[in-house]
Structure 1
Amino acid sequence: MNSVVLFRPVGEDELRLVRESNWRAFPPRLPEQPIFYPVLNEEYAIQIARDWNARSGAKGYVLKFAVDGGFLSRYQVQTVGARHHQEYWIPAEDLAEFNRNIIGAIDVVQEFSSNF
């Protein structure tokens, strides 16, 4: 089985739900969130966690995890800005299957606090 390492920038609420899954799954998307966006590199995840999630007294986190590459092969990598702004667009209805294809545990690799 080949694995692909991905990253996910999250705020405190999503981190709590991942922790409650015993670090094995991401929570279902909310109705207004039709897509789950794991990113391909830590630099991009840091940018989102630091600049968006860690605002107004909140904290932002970067999670690192591996997913079965065979499963991911059905999705295309999307570039949404600069060359390093790459992510997968996983439809919300595929998230349970995505979670079943996570290899090992989800790890917290970065934490950011807002400065204001």
Structure 2
Amino acid sequence: METVTLWRPTGPKELALVEESGWCAWPPRLPDQPIFYPVLNEDYATRNARDWNVKASGVGYVTRFEVEKPFLDSYEVQQAGGQTILEYWIPAEDLDKFNSHIVGLIEVVAEFR
């Protein structure tokens, strides 16, 4: 099955929940988080983890994971700024389904303090 590599900047609380899942699922969104937004390039994830997560919680992580391409094809890539600021907007109610299409494990590829 063809997959797409995605990244997600995250803080320590969300990462702890990913670890609790066995590194195979993202936790449910909070009530004020209607969208889960994995990003399409590592540089964008790095900037968010370094510049936003560190300020918000003292540490930021960049994660990488694979998702089945046929599943992602039902969602449009969103340009959230410049040409390289690309992400998927997965509605919170679709997150369980999204998680079931992750291939392999979610891995931490960078940490910033």
TM-score range, shorter chain: over 0.9
* C-alpha spacing 1:56/1:5, structure 2 compared with 1 (3 Å): closer
1:16 match: 16
Scaled by the length of structure 1, what TM-score is found? 0.95
The equivalent of 1:2 in structure 2 is 2
Structure 2 letter corresponding to 1:34:
P
Partner of 1:37: 37
Q: In percent, how many aligned pairs have the same letter?
A: 58
Select the structure that is richer in helix: 2
TM-score, with length taken from structure 2: 0.98
Report the counterpart of residue 96 of structure 2 in structure 1: 96
CA-based RMSD of the aligned residues comes to 0.9
Note the C-alpha offset of 1:55: 1.3
Which residue number in structure 2 is paired with residue 71 of structure 1? 71
Aligned to 1:8, the other structure's residue is in SS state strand
Instruction: Kindly provide the amino acid, as one letter, of the partner of residue 51 in structure 2.
Output: D
Task: Report how many residues are paired.
Answer: 113
Give 5+ residue unaligned stretches, structure 1. none
**Partner secondary structure for residue 55 of structure 1:** helix
Shift in Å, 1:46: 0.2
Unaligned runs of 5+ in 2: none
User: Aligned letter for 2:103?
Assistant: I
| Counterpart residue type for residue 104 of structure 2 | G
Greater shift in the superposed pair: 56-65 or 8-17: 56-65
